[in-house]
Amino acid sequence: MQTAYDEMYASDGDVRENYRGYAEWLRASSPEVIARKRSEAEVAFHRVGITFAVYGEDTGQERLIPFDIVPRIIPAHEWQRMADGLRQRVRALNAFLHDIYHDQEILKAGRIPAEQILKNSQFRHEMVGIAVPEQIYAHIAGIDLVRADNGQQGADYYVLEDNLRTPSGVSYMLEGRKMMMRLFPELFARQAVAPVDHYPDLLLNNLRSVAPRGVDNPTVVVLTPGQYNSAYFEHAFLAQQMGIELVDGNDMFVRSDTVFMRTTQGSRRVDVIYRRIDDDFLDPRAFNKDSLLGVPGLFSAYRAGNVTLANAVGTGIADDKAIYVHVPEMIRFYCGEEPILSNVPTWELSKAEDLAYVLEHLPELVVKEVHGSGGYGMLVGPTATKAAISAFRDKIIAAPSGYIAQPTLALSTCPTYVESGVAPRHIDLRPYVLSGREITMVPGGLTRVALKEGSLVVNSSQGGGTKDTWVLED
């Protein structure tokens, strides 16, 4: 595996230009001050209640997500290229979703094998032919980026995966920034850090822009599966920040293919639903008949064009890891451009040649389930035991099309406060891209950090934490 690119320090030990202001402050700050600030941050996060639940744990308790007070700092020119690449990628993904549920031109052209789409469990046949406002399916996209040394001119950003169903984590980005500004106002006075606190306004404007035709003053709600969901804090937080209602399935009903919300003043029409519920549970009449989380008749209202769902039903096909390998081709097909941001090189285990290579090199590779998320259902070869590799090999052989494999990238590192002091830890970045009449985003995103030494898994469910992400303005 390559040597990891250090975000703060160059190979000769010099501080990189974008970190110089922070490094000067750090040198002037005593360990006692830093320790006190860390404690203040932990107490504040407990008070606010920024927690998440881990499914399958016997305790059923919620955990506090660790927050690190060393920021990840990105210079303006790097962010500009990243933002251009993110807009290009999300534009192509939305075009792909519209195409496969309508004319299927990319399949007819043979640019993507039709069976990979039409036989995929994430392809929703119920969505074929349904028109959605502005032809937007992925209104909110979380695109995971990693940075790795390219061996020549520093390091490149790569897209690790696309999250288009119900991407989470933006509340941690917003609360992390609020925390840093409260704890270290002098740092923000020293340099111009691009703001992120307007994200709820951008999100609300984006949702309002895709209301059903003829609705001038749309009612927007956040639909949650309830307080036992791992991301419930975020659902409530975003509803409160946007000044809209947080509802569950019992709060709404459908009459004459129109969705209504129960209020103390009587029923009120709902025009846009920012849903944080998976497709299967949205409507027991259309999908999982045993679902108690959704709204009976919701899909009928959606099909009639009387309500907008964000994200649209069926977006999961575009963030399936088996489809990820085709996104560069989507960009060429729909945008007529070369991809600005590259994918991580990927082996498709449904191909005999790729499967043979991966089985021979399992200890060197990362292998993922195509439907997996949260760091589950994956093998990190270099850190896995022989027994774990052997067991995973059997799973792959039993169902090779259910997996992809990638080289074990040396994700970039950022200095991080851990038990032993300050030490480098691997990080990734999840910017949030909003699509409506325009494509917008706030500068930066959620930086996740693998707090375990040597770990490449940054997910909070696997022991990861978060950092504030600073994009420096010119």
Reply yes or no on whether the pLDDT at 56 is more than 50.
no
Q: What is the mean pLDDT of the chain?
A: 91
Residue 175: strand pairing partners: none
Q: What share of the chain is helix, strand, coil (3-state, %, to 5)?
A: 35, 25, 40
Tokens of 354: 């790729």
| pLDDT grade for 55, boundaries at 50, 70 and 90 | very low
Tokens of 288: 């999982």
pTM of the predicted model as reported, rounded to 2 decimal places: 0.93
pLDDT value, residue 182: 92
Instruction: Decide the pairing of beta strands 403-407 and 266-269.
Output: unpaired
Three-class secondary structure assignment of 385-443 = CHHHHHHHHHHHHHCHHHEEEEECCCCCEEEEEECCEEEEEEEEEECEEEECCCEECCC
| Packing angle of the helix pair 232-242, 170-183 (nearest 10 deg) | 70
Reading phi first (left if > 0) and then psi (alpha if -120 to 50, else beta), residue 352 is in alpha
pLDDT tens-digit map of 366-378: 999 987 665 567 8
Calpha distance 46→216 (Å, rounded): 41
CB 404 within 8 A of CB 321: yes
What percent of the chain is modeled with pLDDT above 70?
A: 94
Helices (H), 134-198: 170-183, 185-190
pLDDT-wise least confident of 150-164, 188-202, 224-238, 350-364:
150-164
Pairing assessment for the beta strands 252-255 and 258-263 based on DSSP bridges: antiparallel
What's the confidence (pLDDT) of residue 410? 86
CB atoms under 10 Å from CB of 191, counted, come to 15
Coil, strand or helix at 171: helix
Q: How confident is the model at residue 151 (pLDDT cuts 50, 70, 90)?
A: low
The per-residue pLDDT for range 261-290, each reduced to its tens digit, is 999 999 999 999 999 999 999 999 999 999
pLDDT attached to residue 458: 84
Instruction: For residues 115 and 103, give the distance between their C-alpha atoms in angstroms, rounded to a whole number.
Output: 16
Residue 147: the pLDDT is 94
> Residue 318: is its pLDDT beyond 80?
yes
CA 53 to chain centre: 17
pLDDT at position 51, please? 56
Are the beta carbons of 430 and 464 closer than 8 angstroms?
A: no
Confidence of residue 154 (pLDDT cuts 50, 70, 90): low
Q: Given pLDDT bands bounded at 50, 70 and 90, which one contains residue 420? A: confident
Task: Using the structure block, give the residue that is written with the tokens 């959620």.
Answer: 446
344 pLDDT higher than 90 = yes
Tell whether the model's pLDDT for residue 58 goes beyond 50: no
Q: So what's the pLDDT on residue 471?
A: 98
The DSSP bridge pattern shows strands 245-247 and 155-163 to be unpaired
Least confident interval from 10-24, 327-341, 374-388? 374-388
pLDDT digits (tens, 9 = 90+) for 355-401: 999 999 999 999 999 876 655 678 988 889 999 999 999 999 999 99
pLDDT-above-90 percentage for the chain: 75
Q: Which residues on neighbouring strands pair with residue 161, listed in sequence order?
A: 144
pLDDT above 60 (res 220): yes
Per-residue pLDDT at 333:
98
> What's the pLDDT at 454?
83
Mean pLDDT of 125-145: 97
